[in-house]
Structure 1
Amino acid sequence: MTTQQRLSVWHDVLAIGRSIRIAMSSPDSRAKRAYEIFPPSTWTALNNHSSYLNFGYWRDEADTLDDACQALAEKLADAAGFQEGDRILDAGFGYGDQDFMWLKRHNPAKIVGLNVTPTHVRIAQAKAHERGLGDRLIFQEGSATAMTFEPGSFDRVVALESALHFRTRDEFFRQAHHILRPGGVLATADVVPLNVDKDGRRDLFSTSVPEENLYDGNEYVARLRAAGFVHAQLTSIRTHVFEPWCRWAERKLDDPAFKQSTTWGYRRWLHRELADDTRMRQKFADLDYVIVVAEKPM
């Protein structure tokens, strides 16, 4: 057995242990632990050169996952109405790729990122320091449901495929409303069930999504209004997300570089899920992918 193979086996053993700890951990720490199951190289192995952690917005079959993830980040920025000089909070920023892109394209005054996963925070902070952007890209460990910012601190609050993990999304809505200035905007790219009564709707994300967050798009908008937001709009983009992602992942399974960059256990899980249409595609059939925008009243 080569050194690379031994490392792969060791990472898989660690992943099994971490999965058990997730099931046994408190609900508040499950999302954090879920993203620590595999090493960073495994989480981003489906990408070619970026470290985005979302399903992407696929505009063309020629897109790579990197292209699609960046397109989704830009679609969220457009929905939020990013403007030069904005103060932006990015709740659940992954490795921060979108924040670097937003800074370059939209020139906000600053972006503050909150993330509960220490590894994500350390990597994003290191990238910001290396590029001399630490004064405008501020990545810190913290929860989107336990924020301590002053009222009116931000012009935009965004959550790119992260709010489904927050315990709870309702609390995030309330706190986002509190820290936004009057007229400020909350925008999310999020996953919701199409049918909240269907058994097994938790299968895809398992215990990393709180039961309290499992409601459909209509309820999503209603809860934004209950938190004090106005002009809430929800747009489904699921046809440009789930199925194209599946096709990309299927192609990646035969890529030698992918096999080298990830673990045997992760490849085996992904192959099992994609090889049988009754598995991942059936799970996606029960889910919607939405862009949601709402405003804090003036």
Structure 2
Amino acid sequence: MQGIKAPDPTEVGGFYDRFAQFSVMADPAANLHFGYWDSPDDDSSLAEAAARLTEIMIDKARVGTDRHLLDVGCGIGGPGVRLAQAAGARVTGVTVSQEQVRLGNQRAAEAGLADRVRFELADAMDLPYEADSFDAAWALESMIHMPDRARVLGEMGRVVRPGGRVVLTDIFERAPIPEHKRAVVEAYYRETLLGPAVTVDDYPGLLRGAGLMVDEIIDISENVMAKTMREASRQKATVPAEIEEMHGDDPAYQLDPGDLAEVWELGYLLVVAHRPVR
């Protein structure tokens, strides 16, 4: 968005440190991302729809027993733990939030998976891993905060072995934001520290530049965006008093997700690529 500066990783880490406890209370399963509804008539809750999107990511990643996946922007660990449970894979997650690292490792330990699931403090633009270290990598809704998507994808492509998959979701502009919607969209970009706007046409080049080959670029906006915003708005109206007291003065918390429900110009992408075997 014009006039919105790219977020600094330290700022993003501080943002998620602030909202860590809210995240824990928002969804006991820690699937803290948008939801996926199968149809307009699907009456799943936001938590159920978010869990469904996690399962879609697991299916696309195609990692099995003893394979190793890098979870880029791991949140408080819900999707990574679920992957390990469902597929038997090992997971290393990275985040720029100290609180997310602590809560993620606590979640892995409580699930009896501390030997296979580990969360670490690291910057996705400068991953502290050797080339070819992982069988796959995913970025479930973390790409939205990256100031340089090309650099992050390059790092993911570097650490994934040849033949390994890279799976991600991202918010994108399906069409230019009209003037009468721009203020609310820019407020979200600014206060929730979103990175530069991207379009679907940008992704083939971004992936090629990272040494990756495109498998799928799917616009799943109709299954994701409006209903997530409406459900998140409804959920926010019922938060416990202690959350209101803790975050009531925070500009990001003051935003109403429902304001974005009619902004059809903002969409949601599911991207699958792989590192070619040469």
Same fold (TM over 0.5): yes
Report if aligned partners of 1:27, 1:210 keep a CA contact under 8 Å in 2. Answer: no
Aligned counterpart in structure 1 of residue 114 of structure 2, from 134, 141, 146: 134
Aligned counterpart in structure 1 of residue 226 of structure 2, from 243, 263, 284: 243
Aligned counterpart in structure 2 of residue 263 of structure 1, from 244, 248, 262: 244
Report if aligned partners of 1:192, 1:287 keep a CA contact under 8 Å in 2. Answer: yes
User: Structure 1 residues 166, 26: closer, same or farther in 2, change over 3 A?
Assistant: closer
Q: Secondary structure at the match of 1:189?
A: strand
User: Structure 1 residues 206, 24: closer, same or farther in 2, change over 3 A?
Assistant: closer
Shift of the alpha carbon at 1:128?
2.0
Q: Would you say 1:75 and 2:56 are equivalent positions? A: yes
Report if aligned partners of 1:57, 1:240 keep a CA contact under 8 Å in 2. Answer: yes
- Aligned equivalents of 1:51 and 1:68: distance in 2? 12
Matches within 5 A, 1:1-298: 27-38=8-19, 40-47=20-27, 49-59=28-38, 61-108=42-89, 110-195=90-175, 200=182, 202-206=186-190, 208-211=193-196, 214-253=197-236, 255=238, 258-260=239-241, 262-263=243-244, 265=248, 273=256, 279-282=259-262, 284-298=263-277
Q: Secondary structure at the match of 1:172?
A: helix
Structure 1 segments, 4+ long, off by >4 Å, are 23-26, 196-199, 266-272
The gaps in structure 2 that reach 5 residues or longer are none
Report if aligned partners of 2:7, 2:195 keep a CA contact under 8 Å in 1. Answer: no
Shift of the alpha carbon at 1:243?
1.6
- Aligned equivalents of 2:96 and 2:252: distance in 1? 25
Shift of the alpha carbon at 1:27?
2.5
Q: For residue 89 of structure 1, what is the amino acid of its counterpart?
A: L
User: Structure 1 residues 176, 100: closer, same or farther in 2, change over 3 A?
Assistant: same
User: Structure 1 residues 138, 292: closer, same or farther in 2, change over 3 A?
Assistant: same
Q: Which has more radius of gyration? A: 1
When normalised by structure 2's length, the TM-score is 0.84
Shift of the alpha carbon at 1:219?
0.6
The gaps in structure 1 that reach 5 residues or longer are 1-22
Report if aligned partners of 2:230, 2:261 keep a CA contact under 8 Å in 1. Answer: no
**What's the counterpart of residue 7 of structure 1?**
none
Report if aligned partners of 2:95, 2:123 keep a CA contact under 8 Å in 1. Answer: yes
What is the total number of aligned residue pairs between the two structures? Answer: 265
Q: For residue 68 of structure 2, what is the amino acid of its counterpart?
A: R
User: Structure 1 residues 272, 127: closer, same or farther in 2, change over 3 A?
Assistant: closer
Report if aligned partners of 2:30, 2:79 keep a CA contact under 8 Å in 1. Answer: no
Shift of the alpha carbon at 1:254?
5.3
User: Structure 1 residues 147, 198: closer, same or farther in 2, change over 3 A?
Assistant: farther
**What's the counterpart of residue 8 of structure 1?**
none
Q: Secondary structure at the match of 2:29?
A: coil
- Aligned equivalents of 2:65 and 2:72: distance in 1? 20
Report if aligned partners of 2:122, 2:128 keep a CA contact under 8 Å in 1. Answer: no
User: Structure 1 residues 128, 269: closer, same or farther in 2, change over 3 A?
Assistant: closer
User: Structure 1 residues 45, 245: closer, same or farther in 2, change over 3 A?
Assistant: farther
- Aligned equivalents of 1:97 and 1:253: distance in 2? 20
Report if aligned partners of 1:253, 1:259 keep a CA contact under 8 Å in 2. Answer: no
User: Structure 1 residues 196, 37: closer, same or farther in 2, change over 3 A?
Assistant: farther
